[in-house]
Amino acid sequence: MKLPEKVMLREVALRDGLQSLERFVPTAQKLEIIAALVAAGIRQVEATSFVSPRAVPQLRDAAAVMAGVPRDKAVYTALVPNLRGAQDAVAAGTDEIVVVISASEAHNRENIRRSIDESIAGLDNVFETALAAGVRVIGSVAVSFGCPFQGDVPEADVFAIVEQYVRRGAKSVILADTTGMADPIRVEKRVSTFREHFPDTRLILHFHNNRGIAMANLLAALQAGADCFDTSLGGIGGCPYVPRAAGNLATADVVFMLSEMGIDTGVDLEKLIAAARRLEEILGFTLPGQVMKSGPRDPRLAARICGVGGHHDGD
């Protein structure tokens, strides 16, 4: 297999993971987790969203979170839904902002109550505000691999939105499998097409694990040349429109697999597992991540970190 030597991970648990929870996580605990992630070697953190607190009360402390992050240790990103969100994110000292448009008309209307054309029309002011302040813009294309309302999403519809982002100055674009409808063949084709048509734009893949094949999709993306992925501590997260959504790719699971494949992430797995287990304590429920439970491959290290190993009978 032809695989990248190094992969960059963007941690999204603090935004994608927390936004759907019923309970508000105090700012101090959010900052504790961010500090633990940075100490483990994570260098890109999607820390919050500057959205109406009425819409997403779990992230109502966005400015306070951005004010408390350990600066000069990582790049901190925030999702913004509109110009007001972009203005607030810039004022809070955010390094990057993420804007989102769905590749399906039905999902865009359900998600942000706008048509795709209306969303595109609003991009100019957002990009101008951010770029004038030296804040980078990442364009995200939701439901890039399938829509829960429409079904299949034509490739041309996905890349038409990518083109709108790139034209306005986005240097990075996320293709998001928002509701877990991707498969390895579809992923390989989309990644290959993206790299062919947008060779100077950083591609980021965002896979949800609703149907249990997110890791297979990641492997297909790697084989097609992708080297940047969104992951979530403990695997928390998921689209709010999907009942019992399984969550995102767990950061420790991805770090473990890539490490075993000889791919460098720059992340300390032992520290990452400790951060995931601390997040589990804070949230008060079992997280879907697997490596945080079983530990790394070294049985002595696994026993020390997770208390696993020893004698057992049968399977």
Report pLDDT for 224: 97
In this prediction, residues 151-164 reach a mean pLDDT of 97
Q: Is the pLDDT of residue 164 over 60?
A: yes
Mark out the alpha helices in 95-204 (DSSP H runs).
105-112, 116-121, 123-132, 155-168, 184-197
The first and second tokens of residue 1, run together, are 């297999």
Between 215 and 315, the higher pLDDT residue: 215
> Are 100 and 134 within 8 A, CB to CB?
no
274-300, pLDDT tens digit by residue? 999 999 999 999 999 999 998 877 766
Q: What is the DSSP letter of 17?
A: I
Report how far residue 169's alpha carbon sits from residue 165's, in angstroms, rounded to the nearest whole number. 7
In the chain, pLDDT over 70 holds for what percent of residues? Answer: 92
Which pLDDT band, with edges at 50, 70 and 90, does 311 fall under?
A: very low
What's the whole-model pTM score? 0.93
CATH 3.90.79.10 fits 8-306, yes or no: no
Three-class DSSP category at 258:
helix
226-250 b/e (C-beta count within 10 Å ≥ 16 → b): bbbbbbbbbbbbbbeebeebbbbbb
Buried b (16+ CB within 10 A) or exposed e, 76-88: bbbbbbbbebbbb
Residue 63 · residue 92 · CB < 8 Å: yes
pLDDT digit string, tens, across residues 53-84: 999 999 999 999 999 999 999 999 999 999 99
Of residues 42, 37, 119, 72, the one with CA closest to residue 29: 37
pLDDT interval class at 112 (50, 70, 90): confident
**Mean pLDDT across 248-262:** 97
| Residue 312 banded pLDDT, cuts 50, 70, 90 | very low
| Active site positions, annotated | 239
144-145-149 Cα angle (round to 5): 90
Phi/psi for 12 (5° steps) reads -120, 10
Domain residue extents for the chain:
8-306
